[in-house]
Structure 1
Amino acid sequence: MIKKCIIILWINILGLSFIQAQDINLLTSSYASEDVRKYLAAGNDWVAYPDYTDRTAWNELVGPFYEQLLKEGDKYLNYEWQVVKATDYLEYERSGSRVIMEKPLNDNLKALMGLVIAELAEGKGRYLDQIINGSWYMTEISTWSLSAHLPAFQSSKRTLPQQGTHVFDLMTGDIGSFMSWIYYFLQPEFDKITPIISQRIKLHIQERLIEPYLSRNDMWWQALEIDEDQLVNNWNPWCNFNVLTALLLVEDDADRKLQGVYKTMTSVDQFINYVKADGACEEGPSYWGHAAGKLYDYLKLLAYATENKVSVFEHPMIKDMGEYISQSYIGGDRWVVNFADASAKGGGDPLLIFRYGEDVHSMEMMQFAKYLTEQQSSFSNMVQGRDVFRTLENFVCYPALQKQQAQLPQNKYKWYPETEFLYLKDADTFFAAKGGYNNESHNHNDIGSFILYKDGKPLFIDAGVGTYTKKTFSKERYDIWTMQSGYHNLPQINGYDQRFGASYKSRDVSFDPKKGVFKLDIAGAYPAEAQVNKWFRSYKLKNGQLVIYDDFDLPQANTANVIHFMVAEKPVISKGVISLGAGQHSLVFDINAFDASIDTIEQDDPRLGNIWGSYLYRINLKAKNIQQKGIYTFTIN
C-alpha cells in the first residue's frame, strides 16, 4: 500500500490559489529496499512474452501484422552495415551538425530492429546471420553515445570518443536495452553457432550500461547529486528505464541487481518530484512520450518484475501526467499545444497512450488513443523504433484497443495551476496560454504567450523549434529566433524582450473559469533595464471571441512598446483591422495608438518547414506614443 507521502497546502488569498508541495519520493517512500528484494522475481520469470521457440504463441501475438513484419525484415537481409567515421563525430564540433553522425547509426539500428522483430515473428532463422552482424557491429563501435552528448561526459570535452570512457546518454541506454532483449530472446540460437556472440553482447551491456550506472552518481540526469535549481527532464525516466531493462535481463548477481533496481527507483523519484503536482509536461506534447511516457514504461517494467507488488499507478499524479497528452490535443491535422521545444503537430503514440490509460484507469486516455488510431494506419505505430519493450507491449494491447470507443476529451477547460498552463475550448475555438518561468526544460522565453486555433486550424501560433544543432543547447540558444519572446505573442517593453533564467517568472497568476479570464503579471519576465513595475496581461474568451488586455506601469518610458503576434497565414492590414485566415478572422486594434507592420519569416529549416510551409508571419504593433502607464486592448474575431 502506498503511504501518504505528499503534503499539499491550498491557500486562497484574494481569489488566487497557490499550491505548495514537498518532495514526495513516491517510490522509495512507499517501498524499502527489502520490500523490493522480497518481491523481485528470480531470473527472467517475470517476462510475459513467448519464448523464441513458442511459434503458436508468437503467431497469436503478432496476428494480423505477420506479413508486414516479415516484409520489413526482408528489406534488410542484404543490408550493408554503415560505418560511423571519426570525422562524423568531429563534424559536431566543426559545423554543429548532429545528423552526420546520427544518421548512419540510426539507419543501422532501424535495420537491426526490423530483422529482430521479423525473426521473432517467423522463427525460422532466416534473419539470424544479419542479426549477428548487426549485434557484432554494435559491440565494435567505440561508443554507444551520440557526438552531441560526448563532451559533457568526457574529460577531453571533445566529440571524438575517448579511450576508456563509457558515456551513458539516451542513445547508450536505448542500444543497451535493445541489446538486452536480443540477448534474452536469441542467446540459445546464438550459442548453437558459438557462445562467443552472446558472451560479447552481455559483456558490452555490462561495461557500457550497468557498470557506469552503478559506479557513478554524478551523471546529471540521475539527479542523485541534485542542485536546488537543477532541471530533471525526460532523460531521467528514459535512461532509468533502459538500465532497469538491462539489469532485469542481463545481470546475474542478485544483490547487484537489487542494488541497481533500487537505485533507479531513487533516481526516478527525483523526476516525479520535479514534475509539478498538476501533472503537466513543461517540455510539451512532443516530449510526453519520452517524459511521462517513459516514466510509464519504467513503472510498468518495475511492476512486471515484482508481480505488480511495486506499483504506483493508483497515485493521482501519475494519472494526471498521463492525461496531459489527451488534454493538449487540439484536433484538425493532429495539432497540439506546443509550448517550449515541442512540435505543433503530433498527438502521441496511441498504443502507449492506451496502455497508460488502462493502468491508471483513465477512460479519457483510452478513448483518445482509439481516436488517434483512426487518423493513421494500424501498422505505422506497431514497431517502435529501436524500443523492443514498447513494440512487444503494442502487440499485447492491440486487440483491446480495437474494442475501444473513440472520443476526444469533452471538458471545456483544463487549468494546470502549478505549471500555469491553461487550455480553453469555446465553440470552434481552442485557446491556450501559459505563465511559468524562463528556465523550464526545453525553455523558450514565452511567459504570458498564447496560441489560438479556429476550426482545428492554426491562427495565432507558437513556431516551435527548428532542427537541433550544437547551438540549440549551448550558451547561444537564445540567439535563435524561435526561442525569443519577440517571436511569440508578447510585448517588447521599453525596447527589451524577455530574459532567460529561473528568476524571470510570472506573478499574480489567476484563472476564473466562470468568466473565462486568464490573467498574469509578466513584468517579472523582463530585465531590470526594461523599467517595468507591472504588465498585467489578461485574456478573455467568450463566444469564440478573444479579448486581450495589457495594463502596464513603467516608472520610466524611453522607447515605444511593440506588441508582437505570430500567425500561420499571411495577414492583410487595413485601418485598425488585420485580416487573418484568408479573411475569415481579424485582429482589431486602436489605429490611433499603433502603427502596424508585417514581417515575413522564410522557413529554411526542414523541421519548421514541414509543419508551417515556406513562410510564417509576425505582426508588429508599435505604439505611437511613449507612455508610462496605459491599457492596450486587442480583439480577435
Structure 2
Amino acid sequence: MKQYIQLIMLLLLPVVLHAQSLSGVSSNEVIPDHPRLLLLKAEEKILKDKIATEPLLKNLHEEIILECNRMLPLSVLTRNQQGRRILHTSREAIRRIFYLSYAFRLTGDGKYFKRAEKELLAVAALSDWNPSHFLDVAEMTAAVSVGYDWLYHELSENSRKEIASAIRSKGLQPSLEKQYNGWLAGNNNWNQVCNGGITFGALALYELQPEESAALVNRALESIRRPMTVYVNNGAYPEGYGYWIYGTTYNVLFINMLETIWKKDFGLCEAPGFLNTATFMQHMEGTAKVVNKLAVKSLERVTESKQANLQCFNFADNGSSTVINPVMYWFAGKTKNLSLIWRELDKLATLEVKKDPSLTKDRYLPMLLVWSKDVSFRNVKTPAERMYTGQGKSALAIMRTSWDSDHSIYLGVKGGTPNESHGHMDIGSFVMEADGIRWAMDFGAQDYHSLESKGIDLWNMKQESPRWDVFRYNNMAHNTLTINGKKQIIAGHAPIENSTEKRGQMSVSMDLTPLYETEVSSLKRGAGIINDEYVLIRDEVRTGNKEASVRWNLLTAATPELIDDHTILLSMDNRKLTIKANGTVSLKSKIWSTESPHDYDTSNAGTTFVGFEFDVPANTRQSIDVILIPGDKQPVMECSEIQLF
C-alpha cells in the first residue's frame, strides 16, 4: 500500500508543481545519456589531460585514488542515527560513492566500481533517509544519484532498479510532502542543499520519468532564487564561513548540472552579488599559512582545528579552521578572476606535502579536479583589495595590511543583527591577528547535538530563548560590549557605516544603539587599522537617566598579564600584543574566566577573557579608545586625531 501511494504521488507530481513552475526545462527535451551529472563522458579525456600536465592536480588525483584504496575493505554504511540526524552517514556516503565512482571513471579499474556498487546498494536498502531532518535526505540523494549516473552502464539491470527505486521513494517522494519540504520557502543553506540534492535525483532518473523530473527541476529553479537573494550585499553570506561552503557549493552544483545538460544557467548567475561572493569568501580567511605556523600548537588545542594553516573570521555558528574549498575553482573559471584561487593553491600544496589526512575528508574533493579542467594555474596573482565590506543581517568589514607578509595585521568586524539563521549576540565583535597569531578570537559554535540532547531549545531565536543562555552565544562571550550585565536586543540591527580606506587608515563604524537601547541612549563603535601598525577600537557611550556599567571584552588564547589599569600584555609563542586603553572615564583592566556555570556548555579550556570595566554616569557622554599594538611598535599619532565616526 505504501509503495502504491508513493507511485500515485510521483505520477501527480507535474500537477502538484505546475503552479510553482517558472519558465524552465521541458519534459520533451532530449538530454545527454549517462553519465550526465557534472562530468560528461566526453570530458573525461579533458580532465585526464589536465591532470597529466598540472603537478598539483596529479598529486591530488593520486591522493584520491589512495583514499579509495583505503575504502575498499571498509564495512558498508548503516543507518546510524545521532539525535535528530543521520547527516554524518549521508555525508560519508557522498564521500565514498563520489570518490570511488571518480576513481573508476578515471582509471577504469573494476575494483572501484564493485566497491561503489556495494555501497550504493547498502544505502539504497536503508529503511529511509531520515526525512524529518531533510538535509540527510538531500545529501543521500546526491550521493546515490552520482553513483547511479556515473556508473550507470556498468550497473546490472537489477542494481539500477533497486537504486532508482530508492532515489524515487526515499529522496524525491518525501520532497513532495508538506511536512518535510518547508525548506522550499527558505532563504538559507537548507534551501540550497535540499534543492541541489533533489535535483541530483531528478536528473539521474530523467529518462525514466521525464515529466516528473522536469517538474522537480522547475520547482527548484523557482525556489533556489530565494536564498540567492542573500548575496545582494556585495556577495556577503549571512550564515558565515562554513555555511557559505555548504550552501554555496550546493548552489553551484545545481547551476553546474543545468549548464552541463542544457548549456545555460537559466539566469541564476545574474542574481545580484552572486558572482562576487567568492571575493567575500576569500577575505574571510586570515593571515598567511607561513605565519600561522607560529600559533598552530596553541590554537589547535583551543579551536579543535584539523588543518590550522589558516584561521577564518568565524562569526556565528562556525569553526575557526579553514578548509580546502573546491567551489572557489568554479568561481575562478566563471569570473576569469584567477586570484580567487591564489590561497587555495597554497592550501592544496601545503596539505599534499604534509600528507594531511584532512585533505581527503572533503566529500566533494573530486569536484576540485572537475572544476579545474578549464582553469589555468599560471599567472595566478595575489589579490589586490585589502578591505571588504558587506551589509545585510550579518553586516561585516574585513581589512588587512597585506596578503602575504609575515607581519600582517588582519581585522574582521561584525555588525548586523543576532536575529539571523545561526546568529550569535556578536554585534560589534571583532577578530584580530598580527604576526601570525590570532590575538582576539571567537569561540564559534558548540556541537548542536551536545545541546539538543540536554533539552536546550537551540533553534528558538526569541529574546528569552534558552539559546542565549548558552555560554558561547551571547554578547558576554564575544569581543564586544556588555552594559549593566544585559544581553543584546535580538531585534536590533547595526549596519556598517563610515567605511574609510585611505593612506594610513582603514576603518568602519557602527551605531550599536538598537542592540542596547534599554540601557543607554546612544552607543557607537568604530574599528580600524591605523598606519598598518595597530588596531584602534573606539566606543562612545551616551547615557539617559541611569548609569551604565560597561564591560569591554576580548577573548584570547594568549597568556595575559595586567600591567596597570590601562594596559594588558598578551603573550603567545614568543610574540606579544599590548592592549592600551584611554578614555574620559576611570578604567579598570580585568581578567575573567571562560569557565561556564552550566553543565551543558562545552569546555573552553585554554582561553581567557581580558578587557576593561568602567562606569558612565547618568546623562553623560563618554568615550574610550583601545589600541592593540603588535610587538614593540609604538603609535606614531594620537588617537584623538583619528576620525572613525
Establish whether TM, by shorter chain, passes 0.5.
yes
**1:570 Cα deviation (Å)?**
1.6
Are 1:131 and 2:123 counterparts?
no
Instruction: State how many pairs are aligned.
Output: 555
**How far apart are the structure 1 equivalents of 2:29 and 2:341?**
29
Letter of the 1:248 partner, please give it: L
Matched residue, 1:496: 486
**627, 639, 645: which one pairs with 1:635?**
627
**How far apart are the structure 1 equivalents of 2:431 and 2:359?**
32
Kept after mapping to 2: 8 A contact 1:39/1:307? no
TM-score by length of 1: 0.77
Q: Structure 1 pair 316/368, CA: closer, same or farther in 2 (3 Å)? A: farther
**How far apart are the structure 1 equivalents of 2:106 and 2:611?**
58
**1:197 Cα deviation (Å)?**
2.0
Matched residue, 1:180: 145
**1:57 Cα deviation (Å)?**
7.8
Are 1:282 and 2:238 counterparts?
yes
**How far apart are the structure 2 equivalents of 1:72 and 1:578?**
48
Kept after mapping to 1: 8 A contact 2:537/2:626? yes
SS in 2 for 1:481: coil
RMSD across aligned positions (CA)? 3.6
Matched residue, 1:516: 506
Q: Structure 1 pair 421/61, CA: closer, same or farther in 2 (3 Å)? A: same
**How far apart are the structure 2 equivalents of 1:45 and 1:258?**
18
**How far apart are the structure 1 equivalents of 2:448 and 2:481?**
27
Matched residue, 2:589: 596
Deviates more, 1:360-369 or 1:481-490: 360-369
Kept after mapping to 2: 8 A contact 1:325/1:347? no
**246, 249, 266: which one pairs with 2:222?**
266
Q: Deviations over 1:459-479 (max 9, x none)?
A: 112221232322454553222
Letter of the 2:263 partner, please give it: E
Are 1:570 and 2:559 counterparts?
yes
Kept after mapping to 1: 8 A contact 2:558/2:571? yes
Letter of the 2:390 partner, please give it: Y
Matched residue, 1:619: 610
Matched residue, 1:372: 347
Q: Structure 1 pair 430/211, CA: closer, same or farther in 2 (3 Å)? A: same
Map 1:542-581 → 2, pairs under 5 A: 542-543=530-531, 544-558=533-547, 560-575=549-564, 576-581=566-571
**184, 188, 198: which one pairs with 1:243?**
198
**275, 284, 288: which one pairs with 1:328?**
284
Matched residue, 2:76: 81
Q: Deviations over 1:514-562 (max 9, x none)?
A: 4533222212113x6x422111112243122222222112223355222
Matched residue, 1:341: 317
Deviates more, 1:396-405 or 1:197-206: 396-405
**How far apart are the structure 1 equivalents of 2:526 and 2:270?**
37
Kept after mapping to 2: 8 A contact 1:202/1:250? yes
Letter of the 2:317 partner, please give it: D
**How far apart are the structure 1 equivalents of 2:252 and 2:90?**
27
**201, 208, 218: which one pairs with 2:163?**
201
Q: Deviations over 1:63-108 (max 9, x none)?
A: 54665444333333332335446xx55xx28xxxx6xx66666656
Kept after mapping to 2: 8 A contact 1:598/1:617? yes
Q: Deviations over 1:201-245 (max 9, x none)?
A: 10110112222334549723211xxxxxxx621121121111111
Q: Structure 1 pair 381/635, CA: closer, same or farther in 2 (3 Å)? A: closer
Kept after mapping to 2: 8 A contact 1:431/1:453? yes
Q: Structure 1 pair 396/487, CA: closer, same or farther in 2 (3 Å)? A: same
Map 1:81-480 → 2, pairs under 5 A: 81=76, 83-84=78-79, 88-89=81-82, 92=83, 110-145=95-130, 166-167=131-132, 169-191=134-156, 195-214=157-176, 216=178, 219-223=181-185, 232-251=187-206, 252-308=208-264, 310-313=266-269, 317-332=273-288, 333-346=309-322, 348-349=324-325, 351-377=326-352, 385-387=362-364, 391=366, 393-398=367-372, 403-418=377-392, 419-426=394-401, 428-469=408-449, 470=452, 471=456, 472-473=458-459, 475-480=465-470
Kept after mapping to 1: 8 A contact 2:588/2:613? yes
SS in 2 for 1:41: coil
**1:616 Cα deviation (Å)?**
1.2
**1:44 Cα deviation (Å)?**
4.7
Q: Deviations over 1:423-452 (max 9, x none)?
A: 122362211212111112210111111121
Q: Structure 1 pair 78/584, CA: closer, same or farther in 2 (3 Å)? A: closer
**How far apart are the structure 2 equivalents of 1:46 and 1:128?**
17
Kept after mapping to 1: 8 A contact 2:35/2:41? no
Matched residue, 2:639: none
**How far apart are the structure 2 equivalents of 1:587 and 1:55?**
56
**1:173 Cα deviation (Å)?**
1.2
**How far apart are the structure 2 equivalents of 1:48 and 1:523?**
48
SS in 1 for 2:73: coil
Kept after mapping to 2: 8 A contact 1:70/1:122? no
SS in 2 for 1:478: helix
What percentage of residue pairs aligned between the two structures are identical? 16
**1:322 Cα deviation (Å)?**
2.1
**How far apart are the structure 1 equivalents of 2:30 and 2:466?**
46
Q: Structure 1 pair 627/403, CA: closer, same or farther in 2 (3 Å)? A: same
TM-score by length of 2: 0.76
Q: Structure 1 pair 219/595, CA: closer, same or farther in 2 (3 Å)? A: same
**How far apart are the structure 1 equivalents of 2:543 and 2:44?**
74
**How far apart are the structure 2 equivalents of 1:131 and 1:473?**
37
Matched residue, 1:13: none
Kept after mapping to 1: 8 A contact 2:499/2:507? yes
Q: Deviations over 1:306-354 (max 9, x none)?
A: 12363543666222112211122212331222211222220541x3212
Kept after mapping to 1: 8 A contact 2:235/2:274? yes
Letter of the 1:550 partner, please give it: D
**How far apart are the structure 2 equivalents of 1:523 and 1:386?**
43
Q: Structure 1 pair 233/110, CA: closer, same or farther in 2 (3 Å)? A: same
Letter of the 1:549 partner, please give it: R
Kept after mapping to 2: 8 A contact 1:465/1:608? no
Q: Structure 1 pair 70/577, CA: closer, same or farther in 2 (3 Å)? A: closer
